[in-house]
Amino acid sequence: MEKLYAFSLIAGFLFSLFLFLSGGRIRLFHIRIRILRHRNQSPASPMISGMFLTMFGLAGLLTHSLWIALMIGCLAALLASLGVAETAAQLEGNLLYGQTGHVSLAIPESGIGRIAFNANGKRVTLPAKATHAIEKGKRIYVRSMEGKIAIVDEF
């Protein structure tokens, strides 16, 4: 069993390191697997699987008990999934105030357009409203959020 625990620890750690270095994206067979899904984190996501493997292996090597290793691995995976959901919520709300970007789809005076900006090293687009019409390409900043819609002003 110790070989299984050691393999799990090493494989989980290397897999998690690879995910970190790849920016949370894996390219396998020309398919992109996104790590951060829109507030819904799959229990079979690569990051959760990597966390489970790492903690299962570590707990197994330390306790020599399969049941304790399984419980600690599952607990670590659960905590990791809660952390991912919290990160996605922060990206949608609090961290966006004051964010600068540009209008990617013109915002009509009483309608919704689209903005684009970089956050956490990734391009993000969001629906946006403004108090007045803003043309495509203009620089903006996020003044507030109404649910998932950014309220913006020209920069």
The CATH code of the domain that includes 101 is: 2.40.50.140
- For the residues 19-41, what does the mean pLDDT come to? 50
**What pLDDT was estimated at residue 114?**
92
- My answer on whether 60 and 39 are in the same domain is yes
- My answer on whether 88 and 18 are in the same domain is yes
pLDDT > 70 fraction of the chain, expressed in percent and rounded: 74
- Which structure tokens are listed for 103? 């209008």
More confident residue, 103 or 126: 103
User: What average pLDDT does the structure give for the chain?
Assistant: 77
17's enclosing H/E stretch is helix 2-21
Task: Quote the CA–CA distance of 137 and 77 in Å, as a whole number.
Answer: 42
- My answer on whether 47 and 78 are in the same domain is yes
- My answer on whether 14 and 88 are in the same domain is yes
- My answer on whether 53 and 82 are in the same domain is yes
- My answer on whether 115 and 48 are in the same domain is no
Q: How many domains does the structure of the chain reveal?
A: 2
- Which structure tokens are listed for 66? 């399969």
**For 63-111, what is each residue's pLDDT tens digit?**
989 888 889 888 888 777 665 544 444 455 456 777 889 999 999 988 8
CA dihedral 134, 122, 79, 31 (to 10 degrees): 120
Tell me the residue range of the domain where 128 lies. 95-154
